[in-house]
Amino acid sequence: MESFWLCDDCLFAAAYEDYSTLSLYYTTDETVKRFAGIHRGLVGLMPISADFDPEGGWGIEVFSLLPCDGCGSHLHGQRHRFTRL
């Protein structure tokens, strides 16, 4: 099975279809571009399923230097593993 590591923005978009936090960090124009990038990236990966357990501590990289496999963001931070179905 093929695995992908997604940033927090892509996690919320994939799991909850929630893009609301983008407006906290970006201007309106940047939010529109970021939304489009996340959506485009996730559509290209579909169908995917969460492959992590926060309680068990597996499938989560607390701090990763790798880009997000969904949106391609190079911002360092937390990544969650998803697997293609």
Per-residue pLDDT of the chain (85 residues; tens, 9 = 90+): 799 999 999 999 999 999 998 989 899 999 999 999 999 999 999 999 999 999 998 999 999 999 999 999 999 999 999 999 8
Q: Are residues 24 and 8 in contact, defined by beta-carbon separation less than 8 angstroms?
A: no
CA end-to-end span of the chain? 8
pTM of the model: 0.89
pLDDT for residue 57: 87
Burial 22-46 (b: 16+ CB within 10 A, else e): beeeeeeeebeebbebbbebbeebe
Please name every residue paired with 60 in a beta bridge, in sequence order, or none if there are none: 80
